[in-house]
């Protein structure tokens, strides 16, 4: 059956070239993940220093009555949803959307007004179709390391809405990067502002604050909130690449298995054809006797 052999051969060829593509995508994702992972840890000294100053100022009571620390009863909530621009990353976007829907449902039952800022094309496509939330800003194609300007645009929108009392709570839903094989969807509170208590050094305690404590506090709080958002964006990127790498690895492995199966089938078909031909020849010889 030469036709079946030919069609099998062409299927093997097409599966092999698909495999080459998925393998290339796997390797690209792996190298991007490594870089994202490095960037992920780079912001630690910045956050630590800012937390230290903030810890001291909070111990002096400076944070009380500060607008960004104001805890109000939540009537309106802003969610910043961080998803990817592209697909082919396994369950990355699905997991995020599932969590996002849960949060929307929670707000719905508690009669909380919800609005959303989306980051990534997939998030925008999903959120703009829902009627439980108002999408107020859409960001797409952010670079792997969002620079000050892009970050500040998002941050300023959130801070302005919070300061004006339009929203009482700002949360970020993103995928936290634990390791190459483990990532989880996480929700963090961005505003009202919070920080990790950090040991305060002698210098920070003794220091003079210029022009005054309030101005320094404003400047530090804004930066630490920004750093938290930045960290979430980096984490999301590292997770996205890790999940894309795994998805593409699985696809490559599947293609490998498929090529093996098809090759076996093709060999069987070829052997069958040969056996049949031999049988016909020996049958013909028998008949001529």
Q: Which residues bind another protein (CB under 8 A)?
A: 39, 42-43, 45-46, 49-50, 53, 145, 147-149, 152-153, 156-157, 203-204, 206-211, 215-216, 219-220, 223, 226-227, 230
C-alpha–C-alpha distance, residues 94 and 133, integer Å: 18
Matching residue, tokens 């630590």: 48
Q: Rounded to the nearest whole angstrom, what is the least distance from the CB of residue 55 to another protein in the complex? A: 13
Q: Which residues does 167 contact at the CB level (< 8 Å), separation at least 6?
A: 76, 77, 78, 115, 161
Cβ atoms of 98 and 122 within 8 Å: the answer is no
Q: Rounded to the nearest whole angstrom, what is the least distance from the CB of residue 270 to another protein in the complex? A: 59
Q: Rounded to the nearest whole angstrom, what is the least distance from the CB of residue 251 to another protein in the complex? A: 33
Q: Please, which residue, 42 or 274, has the CB nearer to another protein? A: 42
Q: Please, which residue, 69 or 209, has the CB nearer to another protein? A: 209
Give φ, ψ of 118 to 5 degrees. Answer: -105, 140
Q: Is 152 helix (H, G, I), strand (E, B) or coil?
A: helix
Paired residues of 236 in beta bridges: none
Q: Rounded to the nearest whole angstrom, what is the least distance from the CB of residue 136 to another protein in the complex? A: 12
Q: Please, which residue, 59 or 125, has the CB nearer to another protein? A: 59
Q: Rounded to the nearest whole angstrom, what is the least distance from the CB of residue 157 to another protein in the complex? A: 8
Q: For residue 196, give both structure tokens.
A: 């990790």
Q: Please, which residue, 215 or 261, has the CB nearer to another protein? A: 215
Q: Please, which residue, 50 or 170, has the CB nearer to another protein? A: 50
Cβ atoms of 136 and 117 within 8 Å: the answer is yes
Q: Rounded to the nearest whole angstrom, what is the least distance from the CB of residue 35 to another protein in the complex? A: 12
Q: For residue 280, give both structure tokens.
A: 């016909």
* Closest to 133 measured CA to CA, from 210, 174, 76, 212: 76
C-alpha–C-alpha distance, residues 247 and 86, integer Å: 13
Q: Please, which residue, 45 or 284, has the CB nearer to another protein? A: 45
């Amino acid at each position: 059956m030469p036709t079946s052999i030919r069609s099998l051969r062409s299927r093997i060829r097409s599966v092999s070239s698909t495999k080459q593509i998925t393998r290339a995508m796997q390797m690209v994702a792996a190298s991007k993940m490594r870089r994202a992972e490095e960037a992920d840890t780079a912001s630690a000294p910045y956050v630590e220093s800012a937390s230290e100053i903030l810890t001291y100022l909070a111990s002096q009571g400076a944070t009380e009555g500060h607008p960004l620390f104001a805890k109000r009863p939540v009537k309106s909530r802003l969610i910043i949803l961080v998803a990817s621009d592209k697909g082919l990353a396994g369950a990355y976007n699905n997991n995020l959307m599932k969590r996002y829907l849960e949060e929307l449902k929670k707000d719905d039952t508690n009669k909380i007004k919800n609005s959303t800022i989306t980051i990534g094309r997939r998030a925008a496509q999903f959120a703009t179709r829902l009627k439980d939330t108002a999408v107020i800003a859409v960001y797409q194609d952010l670079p792997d390391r969002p620079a000050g300007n892009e970050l500040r645009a998002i941050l300023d929108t959130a801070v302005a809405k919070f300061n004006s009392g339009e929203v009482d709570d700002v949360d970020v839903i993103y995928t936290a990067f634990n390791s190459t094989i483990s990532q989880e969807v996480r929700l963090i509170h961005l505003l009202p502002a919070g920080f990790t208590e950090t040991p305060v050094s002698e210098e920070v305690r003794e220091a003079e604050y210029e022009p005054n404590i309030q101005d320094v506090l404003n400047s530090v709080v804004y930066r630490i909130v920004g750093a938290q958002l930045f960290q979430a964006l980096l984490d999301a990127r590292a997770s996205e690449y890790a999940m894309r790498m795994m998805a593409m690895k699985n696809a490559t492995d599947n293609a490998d298995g498929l090529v093996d199966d098809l090759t076996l089938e093709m060999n069987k078909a070829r052997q069958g054809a040969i056996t049949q031909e031999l049988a016909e020849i020996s049958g013909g010889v028998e008949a001529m006797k």
